[in-house]
Amino acid sequence: MVKICGIGAGYVGGPTMAVVALKCPSIEVAVVDISHSRISAWNSKNLPIYEPGLEEVVKQCRGKNLFFSTDVEKHVYEADIIFVSVNTPTKARGLGAGKAADLTYWESAARMIADVSQSNKIVVEKSTVPVRTAEAIGRILAHNSKKGIKYQILSNPEFLSEGTAIQDLLDPDRVLIGGNDGPEGHEAIQKLKDIYANWVPEDRIITTNLWSAELSKLADNAFLAQRISSINAMSALCEATSAEVSQVSHALSKNTKIGPKFLNASVGFGGSCFQKDILNLVYICESNGLVEVANYWKEVIKVNDYQKSRFVNRVVTSMFNTVSGKKIAVLGFAFKKDTSDTRKTPAIDVCKGLLGDGACLSIYDPQVSEEQIQKDLSMNNVEWDYPIHLQPMSSTTVKQVNVVSDAYEATKDAHGICILTEWDEFKAIDYQRVFDNMQKPAFVFDGRNILNVDKLRETGFIVYSIGRPLDLWQNMPQQA
């Protein structure tokens, strides 16, 4: 029986390995992690991450051919193929701080693999890594391994999106496998292809050289984020000219050369990947002397930061230039709907901006806990994407922040509402009831363009919605 070990039981490692186990009943899959709390959650009824469809997959396989364990060394020793899905955060200090990828966790996983292995292994990079990482990992493995043990390194970047991870894994657009040239490299690529071929049509499995696969992942995220910053830049122009960004997006989407996806204007993109991976790309460009290319990609992040601060400015200027002492209801804190993940969520920057102006926040998110929100808002220099057990525990609570358990409670007696995540349930709220229980004038700031602006205005709200013609409200300035 082929044995697979997945190192890293997070948002990538957990769902990916669970789907491999589901689709390959003849393969034994062990998912290992240094975090005891994560592994015990994977072995319990309350999985450590919220992802639609994940629970069903785990329930079907756990204890049969899918195991979660902290015995990292044992499972690495036994495995034929090792998938590494550990954190690759932005470096917080030292050379390249703030841009370069921190490969500490990858390197320690590689050293451990070299220490415990007694047989040949295929090591698969699932984490997003700088181009040419496989070279460095290869050296670590070669220098530390016992004589005679051979390693083949493959780059198999993961393209799942949170909130749709299971669907993305079951029916991927493509699977990318990069490997070494030569017979041993080809054999390793074929072994990984055979695993995916259990459920992915062969024409969707692309093979490349190692460096193309590694770089394609960074390029993929940079292109996606660039589309969001492009439409968000347009949203500012729409507000200044009374054009309507969703109409512009729709028109663009019908151009088959452009296509329909990633054209939703928003309060800004979040998530653990886009910013980190673009910074990583920028660092690699700079390291290769490609300053113009680096500057091009930096702008994507600049526009994203601009979009978040523009939103805060809109709220404050619209509400008579101050939100000091005012209750603002924040609906949604996760970086997108259908996840409890708050890494790099735009809600953190928006909430901090409003708190900076003295607002009192009442926050509701269907999946994010009070503890997580307080932790996110009380930390200054957060090492966002570091392994959970290394993150600082929440020591203080932000007094002007109240986390509540439903939207009606959040909005009661509020002066304004900010929609920061596009959860479906926010569309179904009884906004007449909400309006009746708010201070007047009652404001809505829709950072996700999910609400019916005309209807809200009829109800009596003063409404700002990203990239849409501004309310005639006298305090709604033309520019923010």
Ligand X SMILES: O=c1ccn([C@@H]2O[C@H](COP(=O)(O)OP(=O)(O)O[C@H]3O[C@H](CO)[C@@H](O)[C@H](O)[C@H]3O)[C@@H](O)[C@H]2O)c(=O)[nH]1
Ligand Y SMILES: NC(=O)c1ccc[n+]([C@@H]2O[C@H](COP(=O)([O-])OP(=O)(O)OC[C@H]3O[C@@H](n4cnc5c(N)ncnc54)[C@H](O)[C@@H]3O)[C@@H](O)[C@H]2O)c1
Catalytic residues, by residue number, are: 273
Nearest to ligand Y of 109, 282 (CB atom): 109
Query: Judged by CB under 6 A, which stretch of 261-269, 354-362, 388-396, 424-432 contacts ligand X?
Result: 261-269
72 binding ligand Y? (CB under 6 A) = yes
Partner whose footprint covers residue 211, from ligand Y, ligand X, none (CB < 5 to 8 Å by kind): none
387 binding ligand Y? (CB under 6 A) = yes
Q: Is 90 annotated as a binding residue?
A: yes
Nearest to ligand Y of 109, 377 (CB atom): 109
Q: 228: which 2 tokens?
A: 């969001």
Partner whose footprint covers residue 365, from ligand X, ligand Y, none (CB < 5 to 8 Å by kind): none
Shortest Cβ distance from residue 324 to ligand X (Å)?
Answer: 29
Q: Is 57 annotated as a binding residue?
A: no
User: Tokens 């229980």 — which residue?
Assistant: 437
The secondary structure of 293-360 as a DSSP string is HHHHHHHHHHHHHHHHHHHHHHHHHHTTT--TT-EEEEE--SSSTT----TT-HHHHHHHHHHHTT-E
d(CA 412, CA 362): 9
Which has the closest alpha carbon to 318: 198, 417, 232? Answer: 417
Which amino acid does the sequence have at 260?
P
Number of neighbours of residue 90 by Cβ within 10 angstroms: 22
Q: Which of residues 182-241 bind ligand X (CB under 6 A)?
A: 221, 224, 228
| CA dist 448 → 222, 248, 264, 392 (Å) | 21, 16, 8, 30
Shortest Cβ distance from residue 274 to ligand Y (Å)?
Answer: 10
Classified as helix, coil or strand, 176 is strand
| Rg of the Cα atoms in the chain | 24
Which has the closest alpha carbon to 21: 71, 74, 57? Answer: 57
Which has the closest alpha carbon to 154: 193, 112, 102? Answer: 193
Query: Judged by CB under 6 A, which stretch of 2-10, 202-210, 260-268, 316-324 contacts ligand Y?
Result: 2-10
Query: Judged by CB under 6 A, which stretch of 42-50, 148-156, 160-168, 287-295 contacts ligand X?
Result: 160-168
Nearest to ligand X of 271, 366 (CB atom): 271
User: For ligand X, which residue of 270, 416, 447, 467 counts as binding (CB under 6 A)?
Assistant: 270
d(CA 163, CA 165): 6
User: Tokens 């991976």 — which residue?
Assistant: 277
Partner whose footprint covers residue 269, from ligand Y, ligand X, none (CB < 5 to 8 Å by kind): ligand X
d(CA 131, CA 285): 11
Phi, psi of 151 (to 5 degrees): -120, 140
Nearest to ligand X of 17, 323 (CB atom): 17
Partner whose footprint covers residue 224, from ligand Y, ligand X, none (CB < 5 to 8 Å by kind): ligand X
User: For ligand X, which residue of 20, 31, 34, 160 counts as binding (CB under 6 A)?
Assistant: 160
Which has the closest alpha carbon to 207: 180, 182, 167? Answer: 180
Shortest Cβ distance from residue 28 to ligand Y (Å)?
Answer: 18
Residues at the contact surface with ligand X, assessed by CB under 6 A: 128, 158-162, 221, 224, 228, 262-264, 266, 269-271, 273-274, 335-336
Binding-site sequence positions for NAD(+): 8-13, 33, 38, 86-90, 127-128, 162, 273-276, 343
Residues at the contact surface with ligand Y, assessed by CB under 6 A: 7-13, 32-35, 38, 72, 85-88, 105, 108-109, 127-128, 158, 160, 162, 272-273, 387
